Amino acid sequence: MTSTKLLPSLYWIDGKFSNLYLCIDDDGLTLIDSGKPNSLKLVEEAVVEAGYALSDVKRIIITHADWDHAGSAAAIQSATGGTVFAGEKTAVYFQTRTKPKHLPRLFELISAPFSQYTAVETVTIIKDGDILPVLGGLRAIPTPGHTDDHLSFYSPTTGVLFAGDALDTRNDNLNRTPARITADEEAANQSAITLLSLTPVIIACGHGTPLQGHDNSVIMKLLYLLSILGRVDKFS
């Protein structure tokens, strides 16, 4: 199987570097993030496995303009006819063929040739607090820090949080975005606190296995470290 069912209306697609999520609603399907370049085939497999066709994908929602999240948005948009939704800053990155700066300079230089992707031409802008018709109402939450354009999405009906890169579950731990790839530490702390305070039932991160069936103490521990100690990198 290409995907893992987290809920009857939610599938996790392991993009082998970053995660994608497929949401099922009455009016069609929604992808959260598009994966790295050349992920269209993977998406098609997951959509077919769920019992649908590519043309059922109505929305492609992008958390931020990094290649591993936005890399296949253009290809999926043209294959499905779906609408790409992204924040205002993400749309500017697409339009200007630039990307958010948040990696160490050397890594940026080394990775540049491998992190190119076709940017999306037509984007529907999501604003703070917008609610998309996904999973009973999916609220956009600005969560800058990892990058300045980063958005997360929360569905109060299901308790599902799409955290993008604001949180991750690498190394079987719930973490804030690692300092080495974070543009703004203070903003990243605040964004993580905002998301953790929702006490989500499922934390669907951009990297690492989605967190589900967890004890809330996992959330409280990170919330404590972030709010009391300010920085979490030293402690994780």
Least gap, CB of 148 to Zn ion (angstroms): 12
Least gap, CB of 203 to Zn ion (angstroms): 16
User: Contact 143/197 with Cβ under 8 angstroms?
Assistant: no
The Cα–Cα gap between 201 and 73 comes to: 27
List residues near Zn ion by CB under 5 A.
66, 165
Token pair in block for residue 236: 């994780």
Tell me whether residue 80 or residue 169 sits nearer to Zn ion (CB atom): 169
Residue of this chain nearest to Zn ion (CB atom)? 66
Tell me whether residue 157 or residue 173 sits nearer to Zn ion (CB atom): 173
Tell me whether residue 24 or residue 163 sits nearer to Zn ion (CB atom): 163
Query: Which candidate, 123, 125, 186, places its Cα nearest to that of 177?
Result: 186
Least gap, CB of 143 to Zn ion (angstroms): 12
Place of tokens 């991750």: 168
Tell me whether residue 66 or residue 148 sits nearer to Zn ion (CB atom): 66
Least gap, CB of 201 to Zn ion (angstroms): 24
CA angle in degrees (0–180, nearest 5) for 125-127-128 = 160
Strands 28-32 and 57-61, sheet pairing: parallel
